Amino acid sequence: MITLQTEFFGKKLKSPIMLASGVLDMTKESLERACGNGCGAVATKSLSLEARKGHEGPNIVETECGLLNAMGYPNPGIEDGLKEFQGWKRDEALIISIVGKDADEFAKLAETIEGTGNLGASAVEAVLSCPHTPGYGMMAGQGTPESVAEITKAIKGKTKLPLIIKLSPAVPGEVAAAKAAEEAGADAINMGNSLGPGMRIDIHRKKPVLGFGIGGLSGPAIKPIAVRCIYDIYKEVKLPIIGTGGVNSGVDAVEMMMAGASWVGVGTAVYYRGPTVFGSLVREIEAWMKLNNYSSLKEIVGGAHE
């Protein structure tokens, strides 16, 4: 009997596949649909204190081996955002993704989450790793161990929900950042985010294509980097890891879990394989496990370290 069941902060998830924040997640019904399609957990659009329209378009452009995007955190703000997502009752886990300019903003966001009744969320995810939004993530230096520790403590001081820290695969010293999160009281690491920033120039118009000029690279191109980061963090940090970056097939997910990920974030695969990709990944993982005589994910997670 093969099972893809996995524990996630008190919930039994049917699969380790998680909808990565920023993808198909502006509305509660979109999240419910992703759950129906095979996700074990889903993350909301990253919510900021105030509403944000995001960057001017083009917001996304394909490259030879992945997507470049610069959305710029469009979201209705924490209060309207939580109203949209609250009342979550499904078996799949809801993760509230948040972005702030500094530890104070993160603390306020966490306080608002804590003060919202009937939310039904299983965890909060603080994104410290966006490569293309001024004032946030990489562009605000949030990936350093000092900053990670400060933000982690600020959030943990305001909410009882488990905290996931989402890091960038582009930070030299991502292991140190993950360690800082662990020591400051985080409950899990999400490794990682889109990589970069990168740029594509239209040679006819002689201009960068993205409205913001630069954007984060995602998709197959970044998978080897994400796998390496997860592998290194798994060796040094005891926190469970969500592995995110370029997973496009069931065997990609298996590879990420062998590197050390307990769960696998999926985003750009939606572009390559459509909005029902999550179920396809689940079936591919199952088929691979069957073929190779695995019965549970426990036998796979961290397998590359044995």
Residues annotated as part of the active site: 130
Q: How far is CA 46 from the centre of its chain?
A: 10
Closer to other proteins by Cβ: residue 63 or 280: 63
Closer to other proteins by Cβ: residue 80 or 299: 80
Regarding 89 and contact with other proteins (CB under 8 A), the answer is: no
Regarding 267 and contact with other proteins (CB under 8 A), the answer is: yes
Closer to other proteins by Cβ: residue 74 or 279: 74
Least distance (Å) from other proteins to the CB of residue 152?
A: 27
Regarding 279 and contact with other proteins (CB under 8 A), the answer is: no
Closer to other proteins by Cβ: residue 104 or 202: 202
Regarding 211 and contact with other proteins (CB under 8 A), the answer is: yes
Helix (H), strand (E), coil (C) string for the chain: CCCCCEEECCEEECCCEEECCCCCCCCHHHHHHHHHCCCCEEECCCECCCCECCCCCCCEEEECCEEEECCCCCECCHHHHHHHHCCCCCCCEEEEEECCCCHHHHHHHHHHHHCCCCCCCCEEEEECCCCCCCCCHHHHCCCCHHHHHHHHHHHHCCCCCCEEEEECCCCCCHHHHHHHHHHCCCCEEEECCCEEEECCEECCCCEECCCCCCEEEECHHHHHHHHHHHHHHHHHCCCCEEEECCCCCHHHHHHHHHHCCCEEEECCHHHHHCCCHHHHHHHHHHHHHHHCCCCCHHHCCCHHHC
Contact stretch for other proteins (CB under 8 A) within 71-79, 129-137, 166-174, 298-306: 71-79
The interface with other proteins within residues 9-68 (CB under 8 A) comprises 22-27, 29-30, 32-33, 45, 51-54, 56-63, 67
Contact stretch for other proteins (CB under 8 A) within 110-118, 132-140, 188-196, 272-280: 272-280
Contact stretch for other proteins (CB under 8 A) within 7-15, 73-81, 246-254, 283-291: 73-81
Cα 217 from Cα 201, distance rounded (Å): 14
Regarding 96 and contact with other proteins (CB under 8 A), the answer is: no
Backbone phi, then psi, for 13, in 5-degree steps?
Answer: -90, 145
66-69 and 215-218 as β-strands: parallel, antiparallel, unpaired?
antiparallel
Of these, 43, 195, 209, 254, which contacts other proteins (CB under 8 A)? 209
How many residues sit close enough to other proteins to count as binding (CB under 8 A)?
A: 46
Least distance (Å) from other proteins to the CB of residue 74?
A: 6
Regarding 107 and contact with other proteins (CB under 8 A), the answer is: no
Q: Which residues of 15-25 are buried (b: 16+ CB within 10 A; e: fewer)?
A: bbbbbbbbbbb
Closer to other proteins by Cβ: residue 36 or 185: 36
Least distance (Å) from other proteins to the CB of residue 13?
A: 20
Least distance (Å) from other proteins to the CB of residue 194?
A: 12
Residue 217 token pair: 């690279």
Cα 154 from Cα 152, distance rounded (Å): 5
Regarding 76 and contact with other proteins (CB under 8 A), the answer is: yes
Least distance (Å) from other proteins to the CB of residue 223?
A: 17
Which residues are near other proteins by CB under 8 A? Answer: 22-27, 29-30, 32-33, 45, 51-54, 56-63, 67, 69, 71, 74-77, 80-81, 84, 202, 204-205, 207, 209, 211, 267-268, 270-272, 274-275
